[in-house]
Amino acid sequence: MISVIVSTLNEEKSIKACLESIRKQNVELILVDGGSKDNTVEIAKKYVDKILYDGGKGLGYARNLGALNASNEIVAFTDADTVVAPDWAEQIEEKFKKDRSLLGVGGVVKPLNGTQLDNIIYRWNSDLWYRTSALLGFYQLAGNNCAYRKILFEKNIGFDESLSFLEDTDYSLRISRLGKVRISKKIIVYSSPRRFKQKGYLGTWIKFFRAYLKYFMNKPLENDYFNGISKS
């Protein structure tokens, strides 16, 4: 069995579908809430095993908090606007069982209820690009579709809590320097394209490009990249 951590903040419109997709699988389910003002937590109580509160300290802190309170050796992460594939947990668990030296594993992201354009863009950006860059040693494990060994967090090797953007890429790159990390096309989640649509795909790519440049130049990243984006 694995433990799954879902971080939330005012996600009452999407949290039910997310948790239902996870609850159908044999996992421990942990919700870490950042101070929701809507009914997110009330809805979640029906599905989760544990509810934690991060005190508004950010996504990195929330993920670390969830991992440290997990009961299982493997901790997986996804987002509240994401629905996981029926065999998601099984695929993750299988990868770690087959290779005891594996420290982290990720998968691909497909659009949830997306248009044909969304399907094409996600196929390139959140599937082929992830797997192709991994072949070159550049591991980008998406924050809504990744899993790691809990021992990393117990050794204080967690997500960088000072980053509000690219914290998932930063973590997977750091872990890949410590040991084996892999990406599998069989580990699939379906995520809402709402944020990218509201920002615009071109605007999103420009933001990511600038953020990567700042990251590799060790310059501060802008805070709250998705601030102001509608939850609907």
- Domain ranges (residues) in the chain: 2-216
CA distances from 177 to 116, 147, 151 (A): 37, 16, 16
The pair of structure tokens assigned to 119 is 């399907």
**Could you tell me if 146 and 168 are in contact, meaning their C-beta atoms sit under 8 angstroms apart?**
yes
CA distances 20 to 81, 91, 140, 154, Å, are 12, 18, 27, 29
- If one counts every other C-beta atom within 10 angstroms of the C-beta of residue 59, the result is 22
* HSE toward the beta carbon, residue 96, CA cutoff 13 A: 21
pTM over 0.75: yes
- Phi first, then psi, for residue 156 (nearest 5°) are 65, 30
What mean pLDDT value characterizes the chain? 89
**What digits encode the pLDDT tens for the residues 71-125?**
999 999 999 999 999 999 999 999 999 999 999 999 999 999 988 888 888 888 8
Phi and psi at 145, nearest 5°, equal -160, 70
State the DSSP string of 3-50. Answer: EEEEEESS-TTTHHHHHHHHHTSSEEEEEEES--SSSHHHHHTTT-SE
Residue 231's pLDDT band, with cuts at 50, 70 and 90, is very low
The whole-number pLDDT of residue 71 equals 98
Task: Give 83 or 130, the one with higher predicted confidence.
Answer: 83
Amino acid at 92: I
Task: Return the CATH architecture of domain 2-216.
Answer: Alpha-Beta Complex (3.90)
- Judged on CB neighbours under 10 Å (0-12, 13-18, 19+), 157 is middle
What would the pLDDT profile of 14-25 be if each residue is shown by its tens digit? Answer: 999 999 999 999
